[in-house]
């Protein structure tokens, strides 16, 4: 009886929405293109989902502390440019540049907290800085991904496509770190109840700096994965990742306030958005309309979540 009540509860359906959304789109893709139901087809469908999922997790760390990063797309593009130039030709310089990017993100978190600045304004300004640096580093598309990155992203396991394995590992690792450890509780607590964290003797400033640093780390992983898949870079290669990452977090069950996030849901949301683009392509919908259609998918899921929350409130 208790099990039946759980499956009928609003909590269950709210948590199941990301998986149901992915399943619905995946069934639609298989219906339109049965040949996609294969090792090669799944690998092709989800190949670009990994960098988007990493960027979504990066965005999730900022949203967890009630902020928003409007520069993640530009930052991933800059990392891709660094990966295709400095990291390949002068590895030490490339590593130093990436570590410097992490330090800048930590400083941004400190600046936003100390000066009580709107994160939207600060990160929007930083998006122009990241874009400018990317253009200076790589004025025209080019460069080449380091061999070790290309080898890593092109690895093909025997039975399950690498993108699916990477997505599962990403979701589980981040879920354990944020949802099952005491440090994760503290970091989520900054978004949930900042005053309680302060009264407990913890430094909100340091925790915010850690969360912004983690955003940079996963943004770097997204950029390096992307350049490995594309084999070259462009200063504008990942600009769409800003909106996709926000949509992925929200589609996966996250909320803009309260520190309510779901790492597994965020990965599922990113995969759903990636798959939606393929689904719309199979429907022969113009790329100009695809972004709007992806937004419609997000609105539908949010509407369903609002209905679930309303039912929960009535109970």
pLDDT of residue 4: 46
The pLDDT, as a whole number, for residue 6 is: 45
Residues in the chain with pLDDT < 70?
1-15, 288, 290, 294, 308-309, 311-315
Cβ-based burial of 306 (10 A; exposed 0-12, middle 13-18, buried ≥19):
exposed
- For residue 116, count CB atoms less than 10 angstroms from its CB and return exposed for 0-12, middle for 13-18, buried for 19 or more: exposed
CB 263, CB 174: distance < 8 Å? yes
Cα-based angle 214, 15, 225 (whole degrees, multiple of 5): 35
**Residue 14: per-residue pLDDT:** 66
Q: What is the pLDDT of residue 7?
A: 47
The two structure tokens encoding residue 49: 């989902």
Question: What does the pLDDT read at residue 18?
Answer: 84
What's the CA gap between 20 and 6, in Å, rounded?
17
User: Smallest Cα–Cα separation from 77: which of 135, 162, 31?
Assistant: 135
What is the predicted pLDDT for the residue at 296?
76
- Comparing CA positions, the residue from 13, 77, 63 lying closest to residue 248 is 63
């Amino acid at each position: 009886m208790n099990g039946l009540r759980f499956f009928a509860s609003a909590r269950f359906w709210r948590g199941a929405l990301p998986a149901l959304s992915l399943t619905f789109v995946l069934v639609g893709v298989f219906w339109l293109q049965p040949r996609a139901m294969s090792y090669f087809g799944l690998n092709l469908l989800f190949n670009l989902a990994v960098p988007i999922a990493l960027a979504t997790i990066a965005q999730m760390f900022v949203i967890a502390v009630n902020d928003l990063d409007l520069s993640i797309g530009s930052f991933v593009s800059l990392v891709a440019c660094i990966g295709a130039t400095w990291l390949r030709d002068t590895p030490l310089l490339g590593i130093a540049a990436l570590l410097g990017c992490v330090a800048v993100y930590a400083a941004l978190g400190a600046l936003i907290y100390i000066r009580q600045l709107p994160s939207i304004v600060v990160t929007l300004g930083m998006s122009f800085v990241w874009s400018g640096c990317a253009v200076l580093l790589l004025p025209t598309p080019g460069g080449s991904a380091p061999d070790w990155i290309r080898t890593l992203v092109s690895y093909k396991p025997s039975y399950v496509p690498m993108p699916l394995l990477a997505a599962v590992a990403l979701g589980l690792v981040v879920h354990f770190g944020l949802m099952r450890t005491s440090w994760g509780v503290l970091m989520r607590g900054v978004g949930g109840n900042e005053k309680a964290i302060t009264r407990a003797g913890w430094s909100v400033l340091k925790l915010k700096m850690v969360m912004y640093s983690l955003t940079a780390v996963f943004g770097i992983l997204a950029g390096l994965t992307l350049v490995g898949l594309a084999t070259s870079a462009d200063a504008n290669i990942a600009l769409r990742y800003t909106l996709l990452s926000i949509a992925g977090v929200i589609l996966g069950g996250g909320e803009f306030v309260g520190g309510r996030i779901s790492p597994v849901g965020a990965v599922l949301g990113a995969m759903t958005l990636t798959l939606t683009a393929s689904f719309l392509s199979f429907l022969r919908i113009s790329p100009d309309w695809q972004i709007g259609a992806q937004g419609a998918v997000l609105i539908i899921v949010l509407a369903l979540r609002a209905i679930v929350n309303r039912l929960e409130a009535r109970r």
